[in-house]
Structure 1
Amino acid sequence: MLTLSGVGKRYPTGDQALADIELSLPKGQVLALIGPSGAGKSTLIRCVNRLVEPTQGSIRLDDQELTRLSGGALRRARRSMGMIFQEYALVDRLSVMENVLSGRLGYVGFWRSFWRRYPQRDVAEAFRLLERVGLPHAIDKRADALSGGQRQRVGIARALLQSPKLLLVDEPTASLDPKTSRQIMRLIRELCAERELAAIINIHDVALARQFADRIVGLRAGRIVFDGMPQELDNEILTRIYGEEDWDSAADQAEPEGGEVVAAESVKHKREESTRLAELKPAISGGGV
């Protein structure tokens, strides 16, 4: 379904973020990307939907060569790639329902979205998705009144309202406590199974990757250094990906379950809406509405 061949990304500064990425993802598979900070995980995900432009290589989704698309063709291709963001990319002043319906921006056109006149079938599907992600009671709440886990569920529902073939998920548990992180990963996994969706999930938590992914790809310095099943991810391979560490001791020191990270959430909520929208619009509407 998705095939990356020889994909590389070099920034104008000369930094090589990705090099010679070879990757194939079949329909319905959940793939976890792991690796140290700066390994290229987010860059890889964003090269797929062209939020970051690769400097070399081929990216194909079904029979489309994504790297050659521009304008309307790229906007249409982006409809089939749902993006779930680390920082949620919600518009705080809008309701949960309005944020979910923004997943249809690439379909309804500028004026209908401006006046929030979405087709009834889209509204009905948004209701169904909010029920599925466990938020039927929050439809009219403003996004800034939600907890981190709830905000992430809204982002998941919005991505699914695009009717995508592929989910691109960027650190979905970064600001969540361990219990909520497992709930979010379980939800993504279940939704992918229900809808036969493929997913690439950039995640720092190795234990969650082992528990919920079908396949794990390890990146280091922009290169794939491991590609295999979760049960193959032993201490030797973890050292190859991350460097030397007492992995058995690290596992014993995992953070206990508790409340969500309030301080981190406070920082997230203070992000400017204009910054969120600048990132959100290309991903869910193909570069404009």
Structure 2
Amino acid sequence: MLTLSNLCKRYPTGDLALTDIDLTLPRGQVLALIGPSGAGKSTLIRCVNRLVEPTSGSVTLGGVELTRLSGRRLREARRAMAMIFQEYALVDRLTVMENVLSGRLGYVGFWRSFLRRYPQEVVAEAFHLLERVGLPHAIDKRADALSGGQRQRVGIARALLQRPELLLVDEPTASLDPKTSRQIMRLIRELCAEHELAAIINIHDVLLARQFADRIVGLRAGRIVFDGRPEELDADILTTIYGEEEWDTQSEAASSQEPESPARPLHQPLTAVAAGGVR
């Protein structure tokens, strides 16, 4: 579905952010992108939707080579890719519902969006998504009145209203506490399964990547140094990605503190989360 071929990015300063990235992501797969700061994780995600222009190589989504597009054709192709941001990217003065509806801006005309006149079926879908992410009670709240976890849920609902084929997720748990981080990662995984979405998640938390991703790709200095299943990510590979550390000791300590298992069936509702919200 998504194919990156010989993707490279060199900035005007001469810094090489990505080197010869070859990657294929099938439909429905959740891929966690890990690596130290400066490894090129955010650059890779932004090269996919061309918020950052690749220096060379190609990005192909659903048979369409995005790196050959420009103008209107590129804008239309971007509809198939929705991004969930680390800092949420909500409009604080707008309500939760208005922020979610903005996920359809690429499909409605300027005046309809300016006057907030969305088709009824789109509004109904937005209501459904807000219920699904556990925020039916917050529809009329301003975005700046929400907690970090709630704001991230609004961003997830907005992305899904775009009806994408691919989710690009940039550090979704960076500003959240450990419990909320697990809830958000579980929600993203469940929604990907429900909507058959592929996802690339740039994440620093290796334990969350292991727990919720189908596949892990490790970057170091702009190159892929690991691509495999979460259970294959051992201490030696972590050392290759990040450098020397007592990985086995950290993993054992974290496991003793994290009894929760990701094996809960994906179709089970998030009743506990929906009832109390996320703070």
- TM-score, scaled relative to structure 2: 0.90
Equivalent residue for 2:236?
Answer: 236
1:99 aligns with 2:93: no
1:123 aligns with 2:123: yes
Within 5 Å, which residues of 2 pair with 1:231-270? 231-251=231-251, 254=254
User: Could you report, residue by residue, the CA deviation over 1:222-280 in whole angstroms, capped at 9, with x for unpaired residues?
Assistant: 000000000000000000000000113333565979xxxxxxxxxxxxxxxxxxxxxxx
* SS at structure 1 position matched to 2:19: strand
- Structure 2: unaligned runs, 5 residues or longer: 259-279
Equivalent residue for 2:221?
Answer: 221
CA distance, structure 1, for counterparts of residue 250 and residue 175 of structure 2: 20
Paired residues, what number? 257
Equivalent residue for 1:287?
Answer: none
Say what the alpha-carbon RMSD is for the aligned residues. 1.2
1:169 aligns with 2:154: no
* SS at structure 2 position matched to 1:6: strand
Amino acid across the alignment from 1:163: R
Amino acid across the alignment from 1:210: R
Amino acid across the alignment from 2:104: R
CA distance, structure 2, for counterparts of residue 17 and residue 196 of structure 1: 31
Shift of 1:62: 1.1
Amino acid across the alignment from 2:89: A
CA distance, structure 2, for counterparts of residue 201 and residue 74 of structure 1: 22
Runs of 4+ aligned residues of structure 1 deviating over 2 Å after TM superposition are 248-257
Equivalent residue for 2:212?
Answer: 212
- Structure 1: unaligned runs, 5 residues or longer: 258-289
Equivalent residue for 2:262?
Answer: none
CA distance, structure 2, for counterparts of residue 231 and residue 244 of structure 1: 20
Share of identical aligned residues, percent?
Answer: 84
User: Could you report, residue by residue, the CA deviation over 1:44-89 in whole angstroms, capped at 9, with x for unpaired residues?
Assistant: 0000000000000011001100001111100110101010000000
1:55 aligns with 2:67: no
- TM-score, scaled relative to structure 1: 0.87
1:17 aligns with 2:22: no
Equivalent residue for 2:36?
Answer: 36
CA distance, structure 2, for counterparts of residue 246 and residue 164 of structure 1: 40
CA distance, structure 2, for counterparts of residue 196 and residue 87 of structure 1: 25
CA distance, structure 1, for counterparts of residue 185 and residue 237 of structure 2: 23
Equivalent residue for 2:269?
Answer: none
CA distance, structure 1, for counterparts of residue 113 and residue 141 of structure 2: 19
